[in-house]
Amino acid sequence: MSPRRAGRLERRGWLAAAALSALAAAAPSPSLAHACVTPAAPDEPPCNPALADSPWPAAHRGSYAQDSSPLPGPASAAGLGARHLSLLGIPVILSISGPYGDGGRAVWGTTAGSFEVFKVDEESGALIDELRPSAPGTPQPGGGNGPTTGIYNLVDRDNRLIVGRGTAIEVYGDSVPGDRFSPIALVHRFELPARALCRPSDRLVGLAMLWDGEVAFATQEGMVGGVPRVPARMNDRNLSVYSINGPACDDPQVADSALETISNSIAADERGGIYPVTDRAQYKLLWTGGRLELAWRTPYQSGGAGGGARVDSGSGSTPTLMGVPGQRDRFVVITDGQRLMHLVLMWRGQIPPGWQPIAPGVPRRIACEVRVTFGDPQATASSSEQSVVVRGYAAVVVNNRMAIDDLVSALPSQAKPFTELASNVPGNAPQGIERIDWDPQRQDCEVRWANPDVSMPNGVPAMSSATGLVYGIGQENGIWGLEAVGFRDGARRFFKPTSPSPDENSFFAAATIGPGHAIWTGTFGGVTTFAPSP
In the DSSP assignment, the letter for residue 68 is E
For all residues of the chain together, what is the average pLDDT? 90
Q: What would the pLDDT profile of 429-452 be if each residue is shown by its tens digit?
A: 999 999 999 999 999 999 999 999
Mean pLDDT of 101-126: 94
User: CB-side exposure of 376: number of CA atoms within 13 Å?
Assistant: 17
Mean pLDDT of 245-261: 97
Q: What is the DSSP string of 465-528?
A: TTTTEEEEEEEETTEEEEEEEETTT--EEEEEE--SSGGG--TTPBPEE-STT-EEEEETTEEE
Q: What pLDDT was estimated at residue 311?
A: 64
Question: What pLDDT band is residue 296 in, cutting at 50, 70 and 90?
Answer: very high
pLDDT reading at 135 higher than 90: no
- How far apart are the C-alpha atoms of 112 and 89, rounded to whole Å? 6
Q: Which of 136-140, 274-278, 344-348, 468-472 has the lowest mean pLDDT?
A: 136-140
DSSP H or E stretch at residue 4: helix 3-11
Mean pLDDT of 72-76: 97
- How far apart are the C-alpha atoms of 391 and 463, rounded to whole Å? 8
pLDDT reading at 414 higher than 80: no
- How far apart are the C-alpha atoms of 90 and 112, rounded to whole Å? 5
Q: What pLDDT was estimated at residue 34?
A: 52
Q: Which of 308-312, 342-346, 495-499 has the lowest mean pLDDT?
A: 308-312
- How far apart are the C-alpha atoms of 10 and 40, rounded to whole Å? 11
> What ranges do the domains of the chain cover?
3-67+80-532
Q: What would the pLDDT profile of 477-490 be if each residue is shown by its tens digit?
A: 999 999 999 999 99
pLDDT reading at 525 higher than 70: yes
In the chain, pLDDT over 90 holds for what percent of residues? 82
Cα angle, residue 110 at apex, residues 104 and 114 outer, rounded to 5°: 145
In the DSSP assignment, the letter for residue 248 is G
- How far apart are the C-alpha atoms of 383 and 378, rounded to whole Å? 15
Q: What pLDDT was estimated at residue 13?
A: 33
SS3 content of the chain, % helix, strand, coil (to 5): 10, 35, 55
Coil, strand, or helix at residue 429?
A: coil
Q: What would the pLDDT profile of 333-385 be if each residue is shown by its tens digit?
A: 999 999 999 999 999 999 999 999 999 999 999 999 999 999 999 999 999 99
Nearest to 73 by CA among 523, 472, 460, 534: 472
Q: What pLDDT was estimated at residue 33?
A: 40
* Sheet bearing 444-451, strands edge to edge: 389-391, 394-398, 433-439, 444-451
Nearest to 306 by CA among 293, 291, 316, 295: 316
Question: What pLDDT band is residue 506 in, cutting at 50, 70 and 90?
Answer: very high
pLDDT reading at 209 higher than 60: yes
Question: What pLDDT band is residue 15 in, cutting at 50, 70 and 90?
Answer: very low
- How far apart are the C-alpha atoms of 272 and 222, rounded to whole Å? 19
More confident residue, 142 or 343: 343
What HEC string does 307-358 produce? Answer: CCCCCCCCCCCCCEEECCCCCCCCEEEEECCCCECEEEEEECCCCCCCCCCC
- How far apart are the C-alpha atoms of 30 and 367, rounded to whole Å? 38
Nearest to 215 by CA among 166, 155, 264: 155
Q: What would the pLDDT profile of 227-241 be if each residue is shown by its tens digit?
A: 999 999 999 999 999
Q: Which of 94-103, 145-154, 164-173, 254-263 has the lowest mean pLDDT?
A: 145-154
- How far apart are the C-alpha atoms of 98 and 9, rounded to whole Å? 14
Contact 174, 184 (CB under 8 A): yes
Q: What pLDDT was estimated at residue 28?
A: 37
Partners of residue 224 on adjacent β-strands? 218, 242
- How far apart are the C-alpha atoms of 190 and 168, rounded to whole Å? 5
What HEC string does 6-50 produce? Answer: HHHHHHCCCCCCHHHHHHHHCCCCCCCCCCCCCCCCCCCCCCCCC
Q: What would the pLDDT profile of 22-72 be if each residue is shown by its tens digit?
A: 222 233 333 334 578 888 899 999 999 999 999 999 999 999 999 999 999
- How far apart are the C-alpha atoms of 343 and 371, rounded to whole Å? 7
Question: What pLDDT band is residue 21 in, cutting at 50, 70 and 90?
Answer: very low
- How far apart are the C-alpha atoms of 296 and 402, rounded to whole Å? 35
3-67+80-532, CATH topology level = Methylamine Dehydrogenase; Chain H (2.130.10)
Using alpha carbons, list the distances in angstroms from residue 103 to 9, 397, 481, 512: 12, 35, 30, 20
Contact 506, 458 (CB under 8 A): yes
Mean pLDDT of 381-407: 94
- How far apart are the C-alpha atoms of 534 and 527, rounded to whole Å? 20
Convert 106-135 to b/e letters by CB count within 10 Å (16 or more is b).
bbbbbbbeebbbbbbebbebeebbbbeeee
Contact 484, 468 (CB under 8 A): no
pLDDT reading at 137 higher than 80: no
Nearest to 265 by CA among 70, 508, 14, 464: 508
